[in-house]
Amino acid sequence: MAHSPLDIDEMREPIEHRSVRRPRVLSGIAPSGSLTLGNYLGALRRFVDGQPSHQGFFFVADLHATTIEHDPARLRALTWETARLFFAAGLDSEQSTVFVQSHVPAHVELAYLLESTAYVGELSRMIQFKEKGGRPRTRASLFTYPCLMAADILLYEPRSVPVGGDQDQHVELCRDVATRFNRQYGETFVVPSLDKAGLASRVADLLDPRSKMSKSAPAGAPGVVRMLDTPDVIRRKINRAVTDSHAEVRYDPVSRPGVSNLLDVIAVVSDRSPDDLATDFASYADLKRSCIDHVVELLAPVQRRYAELAQDQGHLISLLDAGATQAVVAAGPVLARARDAVGLV
Ligand code: TYM
């Protein structure tokens, strides 16, 4: 009997998800620092918002955090913290598959096959590698990192990959490598599309609004709002945000990046347009007050749930174990197809 495309899609799904026909999405966050407001608005909050309509695979990308010098105890602590934040933000293991990347060995195995598909030239062009790498003691894994990220994605056949703007180039590379692999070895991978973050695609550092707000900034960096910052700390950081010397509040990301960044944050949180919002504020002090209120209110329920989850590490471990078991089942058929396609017996 001929199958409709939907039936075939369904057959590839883990058994426990077969009755639920939702398009798949996948994304990960590296535990390379305590998560920021940028990670939340550009990624995590979007994972949660998409849950009712999409079948999600979301993971803590711990292997990616070893591509630069790291402290093992800190990596362990940040892996737990990030996983706890996933659930505290609202990811639900009944609806989504939530796991730690290194618990699913297929990621590393497929990454190797993709390293044998990607070219040195294209990997050398990756902005993140050019920024952080290129020195004699740069870890080899920083260079091949986009192949691991491509494996993360392709194993689960997502229709789209929600990421912030800094990851667009890596998702494009994944698409190129998957297309090349399919051409060389026969149809093996589903080529996913990017899911751009719109206004939240690049929350900027409050003190250096031409740079992104980065979780790998030093702890206590005043331009970086962390998801677990207390209301007082959030207030202090936003009050110190760089603005400019103009009198009126206007949205102009090119010539007024600091003010526009604060407007973007409020716009994303309140689902309004930043141009329109700008007219609400008589002064920069007003704008900052509103931004503080929105961010504090946004993070409060997440922080409350985080505190509850922190009381029960056993529960967190059992959620992640169950997620890894589902992920292993989901990833198996794609890895088997890729092994077969390249001629492994
Ligand atoms: P990572 O851990 O640097 O960032 C996690 C997610 O947060 C987004 N993001 C931001 N969005 C808006 N404004 C910001 N200031 C900001 N900072 C970070 C990132 O774009 C990302 O979506 N390599 C990835 C993790 C990864 C992954 C994957 C993602 C590994 N495998 C497979 C998608 C699919 C990374 O390091 O993101």
User: Is 194 domain-assigned?
Assistant: yes
Active site residue 130: no
pLDDT at 20: 53
Instruction: Based on the fold, state whether residues 297 and 327 are members of the same structural domain.
Output: no
Please report whether residue 222 resides in a domain: no
In this structure, is residue 156 part of a structural domain? yes
**Nearest-CA residue for atom 27 of ligand 1:** 28
Is residue 212 annotated as part of the catalytic site, yes or no?
A: yes
Judge if the beta carbon of residue 64 lies within 6 A of ligand 1: yes
Answer whether 262 contacts ligand 1 (Cβ < 6 A): no
- Cα separation, 157 vs 250, whole angstroms: 42
* Residue recorded with tokens 């990596």: 75
- pLDDT at residue number 10: 46
Whether ligand 1 lies within 6 angstroms of the CB of 202 is answered as: yes
Check whether residue 329 and residue 300 sit in a common domain: no
Assigned domain for 110 exists: yes
Is residue 287 domain-shared with residue 323, that is, in the same domain? no
Same domain? For 45 and 145 the reply is: yes
**Candidates 130, 215, 237, 288; catalytic one:** 215
39 lines ligand 1 (CB under 6 A): yes
Known catalytic membership, residue 215:
yes
Check which CATH number belongs to the domain holding 281 and give it: 1.10.240.10
Distance (Å, whole) CA 26 – CA 34 = 21
169 and 250, same domain (yes or no):
no
Residue 193 contacts residue 158 (beta carbons within 8 Å): no
Of 326, 317, 311, 327, whose CA–CA distance to 80 is shortest? Answer: 317
Which ligand 1 atom lies nearest to the CA of residue 39? 7
Residue 179 lies in a domain: yes
Number of domains in the chain: 2
30 shares its domain with 79? yes
Does 221 reside within a domain? no
**How far apart are the CA of 168 and the centre of ligand 1, in A?**
9
What is the Cα–Cα distance from 141 to 128, expressed in whole angstroms?
12
Burial class (CB in 10 A: 0-12, 13-18, 19+), 46: buried
Ligand 1 pocket test target in 129, 167, 171 with most atoms within 8 Å of CB: 167
- If asked whether residues 34 and 161 sit together in one domain, one would say yes
For residues 25 and 102, membership in a common domain is answered with: yes
Range of the domain at 316: 5-202+312-342
Same domain for 13 and 156? yes
Residue 215 in domain: no
Q: What is the CATH number of the domain that holds 152?
A: 3.40.50.620
Q: Is the CB of 167 under 6 A from ligand 1?
A: yes
pLDDT for res 132: 81
172 and 286 co-located in one domain: no
Asked if residue 329 and residue 296 are part of one domain, the reply reads no
**Which pLDDT tens digits describe the chain residue by residue (345 residues)?**
333 333 344 445 444 444 457 899 999 999 999 999 999 999 999 999 999 999 999 999 999 999 999 999 999 999 999 999 999 999 999 999 999 999 999 999 999 999 999 999 999 999 888 888 778 889 999 999 999 999 999 999 999 999 999 999 999 999 999 999 999 999 999 999 988 888 889 999 999 999 999 999 999 999 999 999 999 999 999 999 999 989 899 999 999 999 999 999 999 999 999 999 999 999 999 999 999 999 999 999 999 999 999 999 999 999 999 999 999 999 999 999 999 999 999
Q: Considering all CA atoms of the chain, what is the largest pairwise distance in Å, rounded to the nearest integer?
A: 70
User: Does ligand 1 have an atom closer than 6 angstroms to the CB of 28?
Assistant: yes
**Among 130, 132, 196, 237, the one annotated catalytic:** 132
DSSP symbols for 42-63: IIIHHHHHHTTTSEEEEEE-TG
Examine the domain organization and report whether 143 and 271 are in the same domain: no
Nearest Cα residue to 47 out of 66, 67, 27? 27
Residue 74, amino acid: R
Residue 133 near ligand 1, beta carbon < 6 Å? no
207 domain-assigned: no
Q: How many Å lie between the centroid of ligand 1 and the Cα of residue 170?
A: 10
Q: Is the shortest distance between the CB of 257 and ligand 1 below 6 Å?
A: no
* Separation between Cα atoms, residue 30 and residue 63, nearest integer Å: 8
For ligand 1, atom 34, name the residue with the nearest CA: 27
